């Protein structure tokens, strides 16, 4: 049996104490950080311009979450590059819970779309919660008076391949990718016409310069209600509460079709889990309030809510699906 001298024992004890001291100090520090948070306003970055569904959701939920947590959630729009400017800003922000971001399917699509992305959608962010789904809806106008169903769209496109057009809010947007998914699964060849935003795209839809659009319910619904546009199908797997009489794309004959534009909250990677949990709870509680549900319904948003873990799994599934489609269709944005 080997004997350890008292001198050696003293050195071992000193090493253990030195090694454990930082761990012992970290636990109370992390606890204090979580219990003291928030002690100042929280910046909620919206990586797109004001006025859209994403902005409206952030402002609606931020108002309630701020009231619950005792500090305001300050909405800050940082648009540009398909959401990449705002996302990169948040990825590099301090991981202290005072900067969060609302985003959409760009977290799943931007990596395969952009070859020089300067952040990693998974490694650089901590998931917080899914918030809502805002379905897109395939609409047409007066240029297609005989088109009443999705089957009519497919038949017309096959009769004259590449001549019928669909508008989008820009390359790589959910409106564009919904069209790519449609043409891929249905075999209908249509011309994609990208615009700089949903507004000018809808304007040309109303004017008849383009034939179709997979528009967000948020911007399409007023024109559907006025009769200027006609809804053919929603893009989600389930019917929309905002348009309950409109079939899903799958119900209308395009098997396997499901494009569910989602909105979610992420924080910088390394944000303390107790802080993430408090933000998550405040947002979930906000979504349960009747006035919030009513305000979200006006823009066609359907509340979801989730755990951080569920959001991480959702992002992984969406990334796999969109990477496959984007690769197959050869879509690149730079």
* Band (256; pLDDT cuts 50, 70, 90): very high
pLDDT, tens digit, for every residue of 173-198? 899 999 999 999 999 999 999 988 88
Whether the bond between 38 and the residue before it is cis, its omega within 30 degrees of 0, is yes
Q: Please tell me whether residues 230 and 141 are part of one structural domain.
A: yes
201 within 8 A of 213, measured Cβ to Cβ = yes
Closest Cα partner for 168 from 154, 183, 158, 156? 183
Higher pLDDT residue, 79 or 43? Answer: 43
Query: Residue 14: its pLDDT value, please?
Result: 47
The CATH number of the domain where 148 resides is what?
A: 3.40.190.10
Instruction: Provide the domain count of the chain.
Output: 2
The strand order across the sheet containing 42-46 reads 73-77, 42-46, 99-103, 262-268, 125-133, 302-303
Which residue stretches of 163-268 are H helix? 174-186, 198-207, 217-226
Residue 247 lies in a domain: no
Residue 277 pLDDT > 80, yes or no?
yes
Q: Please tell me whether residues 73 and 220 are part of one structural domain.
A: no
Residue 202 lies in a domain: yes
pLDDT above 90: percentage of residues in the chain: 77
Q: Please tell me whether residues 120 and 145 are part of one structural domain.
A: no
Query: Residue 134: its pLDDT value, please?
Result: 93
CA angle 259, 294, 78 (to 5 degrees): 60
Indicate the residue among 199, 218, 234 that finishes a domain.
Answer: 234
Q: Please tell me whether residues 67 and 110 are part of one structural domain.
A: yes
For 232-244, what is the mean pLDDT?
95
Coil, strand, or helix at residue 215? strand
Written as six digits, the tokens of 111 are: 């990596």
Coil, strand, or helix at residue 213? strand
Indicate the residue among 197, 219, 234 that finishes a domain.
Answer: 234
The CATH number of the domain where 285 resides is what?
A: 3.40.190.150
Alpha-carbon dihedral sign for residues 21, 27, 33, 35: negative
Report how far residue 321's alpha carbon sits from residue 215's, in angstroms, rounded to the nearest whole number: 21
Q: Please tell me whether residues 174 and 201 are part of one structural domain.
A: yes
Helix (H) or strand (E) holding 7, with range, is: helix 6-36
CA angle 121, 122, 127 (to 5 degrees): 100
Report how far residue 283's alpha carbon sits from residue 276's, in angstroms, rounded to the nearest whole number: 11
* Band (1; pLDDT cuts 50, 70, 90): very low
Residue 281 lies in a domain: yes
Report how far residue 294's alpha carbon sits from residue 105's, in angstroms, rounded to the nearest whole number: 24
Q: Please tell me whether residues 282 and 266 are part of one structural domain.
A: yes
What domain range is 95 assigned to? 41-133+261-329
Widest Cα–Cα separation across the chain: 96
Q: Please tell me whether residues 141 and 230 are part of one structural domain.
A: yes
Query: Residue 21: its pLDDT value, please?
Result: 43
Query: Residue 69: its pLDDT value, please?
Result: 97
Written as six digits, the tokens of 22 are: 């930082």
Residue 110 lies in a domain: yes
Query: Residue 115: its pLDDT value, please?
Result: 79
Q: Please tell me whether residues 147 and 126 are part of one structural domain.
A: no
Report how far residue 144's alpha carbon sits from residue 84's, in angstroms, rounded to the nearest whole number: 36
Residue 176 lies in a domain: yes
In sequence order, what are the beta bridge partners of 324?
none
Q: Please tell me whether residues 147 and 230 are part of one structural domain.
A: yes
Q: Please tell me whether residues 199 and 265 are part of one structural domain.
A: no
Q: Please tell me whether residues 301 and 160 are part of one structural domain.
A: no
Indicate the residue among 215, 234, 253 that finishes a domain.
Answer: 234
Residue 50 lies in a domain: yes
Residue 210 lies in a domain: yes
* Band (9; pLDDT cuts 50, 70, 90): very low
Q: Please tell me whether residues 129 and 143 are part of one structural domain.
A: no
Query: Residue 188: its pLDDT value, please?
Result: 92
Residue 252 lies in a domain: no
* Band (33; pLDDT cuts 50, 70, 90): low
Report how far residue 215's alpha carbon sits from residue 182's, in angstroms, rounded to the nearest whole number: 13
């Amino acid at each position: 049996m080997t004997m350890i001298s008292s001198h050696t024992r003293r050195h071992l004890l000193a090493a253990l104490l030195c090694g454990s001291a930082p761990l012992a100090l970290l636990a109370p520090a992390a606890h204090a950080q979580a219990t003291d948070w928030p002690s100042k306003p929280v910046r909620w970055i919206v990586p797109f311009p004001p006025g859209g569904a994403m902005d409206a959701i952030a402002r609606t939920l931020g108002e309630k979450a701020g009231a619950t947590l005792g500090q305001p959630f300050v909405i800050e729009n940082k648009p540009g590059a398909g959401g990449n400017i705002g996302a990169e800003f948040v990825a590099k922000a301090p991981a202290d819970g005072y900067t969060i971001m609302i985003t959409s399917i760009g977290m799943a699509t931007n990596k395969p779309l952009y070859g020089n992305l300067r952040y990693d959608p998974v490694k650089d962010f901590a998931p917080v919660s899914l918030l809502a789904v805002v379905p897109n809806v395939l609409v047409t106008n007066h240029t297609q008076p005989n088109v009443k169903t999705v089957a009519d769209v497919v038949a017309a496109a096959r009769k004259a391949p590449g001549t019928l057009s669909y508008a989008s809010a820009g390359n790589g947007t959910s409106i564009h990718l919904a069209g790519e998914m449609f043409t891929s699964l249905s075999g209908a060849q249509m011309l994609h016409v990208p615009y700089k935003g949903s507004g000018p795209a809808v304007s040309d839809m109303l004017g008849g310069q383009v034939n179709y659009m997979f528009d967000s319910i948020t911007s399409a619904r007023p024109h559907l209600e006025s009769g200027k546009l006609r809804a053919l199908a929603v893009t989600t797997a389930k019917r929309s509460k905002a348009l309950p009489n409109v079939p899903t794309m799958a119900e209308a004959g395009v098997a396997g079709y499901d494009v569910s534009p989602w909105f979610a909250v992420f924080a910088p990677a390394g944000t303390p889990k107790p802080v993430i949990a408090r933000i998550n709870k405040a947002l979930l509680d906000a979504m349960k309030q009747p006035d919030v549900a009513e305000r979200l319904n006006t823009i066609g948003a359907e509340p979801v809510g989730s755990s951080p873990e569920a959001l991480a799994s959702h992002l992984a599934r969406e990334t796999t699906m969109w990477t496959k489609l984007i690769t197959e269709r050869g879509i690149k944005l730079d």
